[in-house]
Amino acid sequence: MSALDAWARPAIGRGFRLQWEPAQNAHVLLYPEGMVKLNASAGEILRRCDGARTLGEIVAELQTAFGVADVADDVREFVALALERGWLEIAR
């Protein structure tokens, strides 16, 4: 999985927009055909996927923000899923 090494810079995919939706009390991912309501973990990961932060930086931020360790595998797994669905792309 070379595309998902610690230096990869994930960004929200073209055609998608991430925003906080007060009515849903959650982050949502909007696209022309609809909306995906994200759980809290997914929202926290995706809001950091700005194409500037590396995957390693995102993991470090999450570990610091939530006082947890060893989330790298879970974050990588979610990012891989989001890439498959087109929610994310790797910034060049």
pLDDT at 64 over 90: yes
Q: What is the domain partition of the chain in residue ranges?
A: 12-85
| Residue among 60, 23, 27 at smallest CA distance from 41 | 27
- Confidence (pLDDT) at 4: 85
C-alpha 53/C-alpha 75 separation (Å) is 14
pTM higher than the cut 0.85: yes
pLDDT at 2 over 90: no
CATH 2.60.40.1080 fits 12-85, yes or no: no
- Confidence (pLDDT) at 60: 97
